[in-house]
Amino acid sequence: MKKHNFSAGPGILPAEVLQKAAEACINFNQYGLSLLEISHRGKNVIEVFDRAEALVKKLLGLGDDYRVIFLQGGASSQFAMVPANFLNTKAAYLNTGVWANRAVKEARFYGETEVVASSEAENFNFIPKNYQIPANADYFHITSNNTIYGTQMHSFPESPVPLICDMSSDIFSHRFDATKFDMIYAGVQKNMGPAGATMVVLKKEMLDRITRKLPTMQNYRTHVDADSMYNTPPVFAVYVSMLTLEWLERNGGIEWAEKRNAAKAECFYNELDRNSMFRGTVAKEDRSWMNANFVLNNPEKESTFSDMLKEAGIIGLAGHRSVGGFRASMYNAMELDSVKVLTDVMKSFEQKHA
């Protein structure tokens, strides 16, 4: 039976990417060695990193005034690196979920941190709006998609200060003006590759804002100057990310991904709103295309619904403990057919148990 993996992360990857990655583990580029055992200083690996950076910039429409680096430590490591490098007087944050909240906590180690708006009082079930970004802040930090709570920013603010965004769970999923951002970072394990690498897209002029004396590994200059290779980098994770970006480019880029993701979101949410057995947990205008949270109107029937999911080959649909219920994660590599299998199960569940 085919499996339909709705796991929130790591996310699924295209089959052709997995095949090429598997081959590289045995014989990378007909080099006679595994990618896992060759030097990161070698020409073959340097070409992978150069290609990955070029693809990121091309897909996002960025020029030579930006650099792309690949780091370890997950996006969570950036919660501290961002303020360490850029918080000199005060930082501003939008608090929209667990990860945004953790970023706020890390920033407070380095200086004054203002939360300009938060949806925490409503269990993060909407994206705050109509807030004021302080013009005297060193930067404004946002989280574009909230994996746990199923909310997503469908537009971005005009910021009077450098705009920094954690895009870990919706990078490359839809079109947006990347030049509005001074920095974007993302763990690659949702829409790009396996866990183990974090992509950082940084406007070069941001490096001039680093004034604090920092440990070598926590300074963005270190990694920009060394082209992501100050120490041994996460070669395999970056290679798989490069393959995924090539797959995305080959199929039509972010415009193609956006049409595909919009179709999946429409398919799922139309059924969610129609079906008498379920309800969503977030404001409709802030629903995420990547992570759709929903609950049963009668929680006592959860085990019955879960059994039907299992019979259909659907896995990874359990909601986060902070929200409960169910969560359908529909990252770039997921096919519309898998979403239709889920909505068919929802329809069948209604017919049997309404």
Q: State how far the Cα of 278 lies from the Cα of 334, in Å rounded to an integer.
A: 22
Which of 99, 203, 264, 289 is an active site residue? 99
pLDDT of the residue at 304: 96
Neighbours of 138 (CB within 10 A): 22
16-251 in CATH: which number?
Answer: 3.40.640.10
Q: How many CA atoms lie within 13 A of 216 on its CB side?
A: 6
Q: State how far the Cα of 83 lies from the Cα of 139, in Å rounded to an integer.
A: 9
Residue-range domain boundaries for the chain: 16-251, 253-353
CA distance readout (Å), 3 to 163, 316, 317: 39, 10, 12
pLDDT of the residue at 98: 95
pLDDT digits (tens, 9 = 90+) for 293-314: 999 999 999 999 999 999 999 9
Q: State how far the Cα of 203 lies from the Cα of 185, in Å rounded to an integer.
A: 12
Best CA proximity match to 148, nearest among 293, 297, 315, 331:
293
Coil/strand/helix, residue 287: strand
Pairing of strands 151-152, 145-146: antiparallel
Q: Say whether 99 is catalytic.
A: yes
pLDDT digits (tens, 9 = 90+) for 110-133: 999 999 999 999 999 999 999 999
Helix/strand/coil percentages in the chain, nearest 5: 45, 15, 40
Residues in the chain, total:
354
Sequence-ordered strand ranges (E) for 154-249:
163-166, 183-187, 198-203
Q: Would you write out the chain's pLDDT as a tens digit for each of its 354 residues?
A: 789 999 998 999 999 999 999 999 999 988 899 999 998 888 899 999 999 999 999 999 999 999 999 999 999 999 999 999 999 999 999 999 999 999 999 999 999 999 999 999 999 999 999 999 999 999 999 999 999 999 999 999 999 999 999 999 999 999 999 999 999 999 999 999 999 999 999 999 999 999 999 999 999 999 999 999 999 999 999 999 999 999 999 999 999 999 999 999 999 999 999 999 999 999 999 999 999 999 999 999 999 999 999 999 999 999 988 888 999 999 999 999 999 999 999 999 999 998
CA distance readout (Å), 157 to 41, 118, 138, 178: 41, 15, 16, 12
pLDDT of the residue at 338: 98
> Amino acid identity of 122?
E
pLDDT of the residue at 273: 98
Q: State how far the Cα of 166 lies from the Cα of 152, in Å rounded to an integer.
A: 12
Which of 138, 170, 190, 203 is an active site residue? 190
Which of 166, 170, 182, 286 is an active site residue? 166
Q: State how far the Cα of 338 lies from the Cα of 351, in Å rounded to an integer.
A: 20
The CATH architecture assigned to 253-353 reads: Alpha-Beta Complex (3.90)
**pTM for the model:** 0.96
Phi, psi of 337 (to 5 degrees): -60, -35
